[in-house]
Chains A and B, each alone.
Chain A
Amino acid sequence: MQTLELTPEHIAAEKIDEVLMRLYQPAFLQVARYISKHGGSFDAARDIFHDSLSIYYEQYQAGKAIESEINYITGVAKHLWLRQCKRDTLQVNLDESPSAVILPPEPTLNEVKLIQLLERTGKRCMDLLVSFYLEKISLVNISTLFHFSSEHSAAVQKYKCLEKVRDVIKTKSIAYEDFFE
């Protein structure tokens, strides 16, 4: 019998999929209604919705108490849409309060550049670090998922990844001062 090999990407994608698939249709409908009512296009609704979903997942994974998932996602979308309208100096009806949702921090431009660089040069390490620090997957499970020989080996690899990512930042000559924004 053929055995399908589970990779870390499969596991992470399954976990994320479970949440995204459950919420995608009802939440997108609500967000799309709001964006269309306030002058946005289908593409704008999709982009704003995907940003909102990713922010929601972050809160969910961190164990933050959220009363209504769909209302939270819509609240985030309203904030993001108003911010985009202000940035693009579009006329929007500001009668409606954008909700009490507080947006988490956005990356700076230099951080975005850094992340794009790491997506090209250090994806496996970044995935390992996300698995450990954010998804809270144990070192035992990480050793299985990433095919390390033991928990100790996974722990060492985690530090090697921190070293590698740090060195990528250094060697690509991203100025030290750039980060003091």
Chain B
Amino acid sequence: MRTSLNEISAIEHYLNDEFNATEKRAFEERMQNHEALRLNTFLQRKIYVILPFYRRRRIKERAEQIHDHLFHHPEHTTFRNSILQLF
């Protein structure tokens, strides 16, 4: 793999706490001395944090499609009426 991808792999190991004590210390020392590595580690952690939020939006999109189907197809009239009569 390219050096930059190896670095991404190393950051992943660090963030997942998969390094042993020596490797972890060495990585943290490198971070102290390299601002770019610090920034990349920060951004990679951010990606892992936003992934669930991204998926929530995808699920909501799908829920909207199911909703449209249930409220526009005659075979679901009973369900639709049971909801609409509440409002």
Residues of A with Cβ closer than 8 Å to B?
A: 12-13, 16-17, 20-21, 24-25, 28-29, 32-33, 36, 41-42, 45-46, 49-51, 53-55, 57-58, 104, 107, 111-112, 114-115, 118-119, 126, 129-130, 133-134, 156, 159-160, 162-163, 165-166, 169-170, 176, 179
* CB of B26, distance to nearest CB on chain A (Å): 20
Contacting residues of chain B (40-81) with chain A, CB-CB under 8 angstroms = 40, 42-44, 46-60, 62-64, 66-67, 70, 79
Query: Out of B5, B9, B42, B66, which one reaches A21, CB within 8 Å?
Result: B66
A51 to B9, CA, bound (A): 33
* Chain B residue contacts of A118, Cβ below 8 A: 50, 54
* CB of B48, distance to nearest CB on chain A (Å): 7
Task: Please name 17 pairs of A and B residues whose Cβ atoms are closer than 8 Å in the assembled complex, sorted by A.
Answer: A12-B58, A16-B58, A17-B62, A20-B62, A20-B66, A24-B63, A32-B87, A46-B67, A50-B67, A111-B49, A156-B5, A162-B8, A166-B44, A166-B47, A169-B47, A170-B43, A176-B42
How many contacting A-B pairs (Cβ < 8 A)? 114
Is B21 in contact with chain A by the CB < 8 A criterion? no
* Chain A residue contacts of B66, Cβ below 8 A: 17, 20-21, 24
Residues of B with Cβ closer than 8 Å to A?
A: 1, 4-5, 8-9, 12, 39-40, 42-44, 46-60, 62-64, 66-67, 70, 79, 82-84, 86-87
With contacts A114-B50, A170-B43 known, what are 12 further pairs, Cβ within 8 A?
Answer: A20-B59, A21-B66, A33-B86, A42-B84, A45-B83, A46-B67, A55-B56, A126-B54, A130-B51, A163-B8, A169-B46, A176-B39
Contacts A51-B60, A156-B1, A162-B44 known; A42 to B83 CB distance under 8 Å? yes
A118 to B8, CA, bound (A): 19
Do B56 and A111 touch (CB < 8 A)?
no
Q: Which residue of A lies closest to B52 (CB)?
A: A58
* CB of A159, distance to nearest CB on chain B (Å): 4
